[in-house]
Amino acid sequence: LGKHADDPQNPGKCYCARIYGERDFRAFGYLSVLKAPYTDDRIKKHWEKAAAMNAVPIRQDATDEEKEAATKKAVEQWENMGRRASWGCAWYKRWFDLVCTAVEKKQRLKAVFFPRQVGYGIPRMEDLSNCEVDLWDGFGCGGSQKAELATASLMQKQHSGWHYEEVDVTAFLKDEFPPGAQVDAWHETEADARWRKGIVVKQMDKVTKAESGEESTEFFWQIKSDDDSGDPRMPWK
C-alpha cells in the first residue's frame, strides 16, 4: 500500500500515469475521511492506513477549521508525491506478473463484477488516463479492477490465453462462503455499524427477470454472530 513501480513503457514515471492519468488530490485519496462510528480501533486503523498512503486523515465530524487545514495539507501531500495515486501502483505490476504466470500455466482467468453488472464498466486502455473518465463510478467493478480488465482486454488482442470468464460477485461468494463458513460480516443498525465475526447459517437466493427475459440471481446470507446472545440468525445480507 502506498508503493509505486516504474513503468518500462514510460521512462521516468510509474504505472500511475498509464492506469490513472493525472487526477486531483481527492480522487487520489490524499484526504482520507473517517465516517462514524468512531471507535478507538477504527480510528487507529484509519490513521495507520493514511500514514502508509502519505494521506491526511480526518474525521467526518471535524470542525470547519480542521477540515480546511486538512484539505490544505492534503493538496501539499498530493503535490509532494508527484500527483500520483496515494495507494500506489506497485499492486498493478504484481497483478500483471501473476496473471502472466497464470497464462503461461494455461490457468483459467476470472473477472468478478458487481451484482447484476457482469460485463459492464470495462474501459478501453487509452481511457484509463483520461481524467474525464470516472474509474470509481461504482459501475461494473472497482477503479483498480477497471485497469486490470482494460489491460486484459488489450492483451487478448496481442497474446493467446488472456480471455477471462465474467462472474457475478454473488455467485462467486456463494461458493466461497457456504453454510458453516466463518466470516467477517458488516452489521449495521441505527445505533451501530461495525464488522463482526460470525458463521454462515443459511444461503438464500432471489431470481429476477429483466424486460429482455434474461434472468439473474442474487444471493443473500444469514449470519450468526459469535458475540450475539439473542436470535442466532442475524439479518445481514
Report which of residues 222 and 191 the model is more confident about: 222
Number of H helices, E strands in the chain: 6, 7
Indicate if the pLDDT at residue 234 is higher than 70.
Answer: no
The number of distinct structural domains making up the chain is 3
The boundaries of the domain holding residue 101 are 92-165
Average pLDDT of the residues in 106-129: 94
Question: Do 98 and 155 fall into the same domain?
Answer: yes
Average pLDDT of the residues in 171-179: 84
What is the bridge-based pairing of β-strands 193-209 and 182-188?
Answer: antiparallel
**Residue 226 CA: distances (Å) to CA of 157, 182, 220, 230:** 49, 10, 19, 11
- Residue 222: enclosing H or E segment and its boundaries? strand 215-225
Question: Do 129 and 155 fall into the same domain?
Answer: yes
Question: Do 154 and 124 fall into the same domain?
Answer: yes
Phi, psi of 125 (to 5 degrees): -60, -40
Phi, psi of 145 (to 5 degrees): -65, -30
What is the bridge-based pairing of β-strands 193-209 and 109-113?
Answer: unpaired
pLDDT of residue 229: 43
CA dist., res. 65 & res. 85, Å (int): 26
Residues facing 216 on adjacent strands: 208
Domain end among 118, 143, 165: 165
pLDDT of residue 196: 82
CA dist., res. 32 & res. 12, Å (int): 28
pLDDT of residue 21: 96
- For the chain, give the percent of residues with pLDDT over 90: 71
Domain end among 119, 141, 165: 165
Within-domain flag for 102: yes
Of 43-47, 119-123, 147-151, 219-223, which range is least confident? 219-223
**Residue 165 CA: distances (Å) to CA of 18, 90, 212:** 25, 25, 22
- Helices 143-158 & 90-104, crossing angle to 10 degrees? 40
For residues 37 and 193, the answer to whether their CB atoms sit within 8 Å is: yes
CA dist., res. 97 & res. 47, Å (int): 31
Give the pLDDT band (50/70/90) at residue 187: confident
pLDDT of residue 204: 85
Within-domain flag for 144: yes
Residue 192, exposed/middle/buried by CB under 10 A (0-12, 13-18, 19+)?
exposed
